[in-house]
Amino acid sequence: MNLTDRFWRFHEEYSFKAVDAFLYFYLLKIYRNSKFKERFTHSNKMILAQLNITKPMFERSRKKLKSVGLIDYVSVPGSQQITWIMKIQKKPSIYEV
């Protein structure tokens, strides 16, 4: 399952808000531009400006996306750079039930 399909499957269960989808698909674009690196960095300020959202909206959305397992992130206090991780569902092996 690709990441777009995975998002919509999660949306059926968690009913994301529009800003959640907007943030997820923006991060997906950055992930693709990074040539699918497992971890990539991007500025909070750039995200806020590009999506035209407030810091509280951004923080709520990234927390929601992380809590359901679509993304992960590591932030350093005082830094505008965040290391993002797109959570990729691995295909189950033939030994997993």
Domain ranges of the chain: 3-86
CATH of 3-86, one of 3.40.50.620, 1.10.10.10, 1.20.1260.10, 3.30.428.10: 1.10.10.10
Nearest to 53 by CA among 83, 84, 89, 27: 27
Q: At what angle do helices 44-51 and 55-67 cross, to 10 degrees?
A: 110
Gyration radius (Cα) of the chain, Å: 14
83 forms beta bridges with 41, 74
Question: Is 60 within 8 Å of 53 (Cβ atoms)?
Answer: no
The closest of 54, 24, 43, 47 to 83, measured between CA atoms, is: 43
- pLDDT of the chain along its 97 residues, tens only? 699 999 999 999 999 999 999 999 999 999 999 999 989 999 999 999 999 999 999 999 999 999 999 999 998 888 888 999 999 875 544 444 3
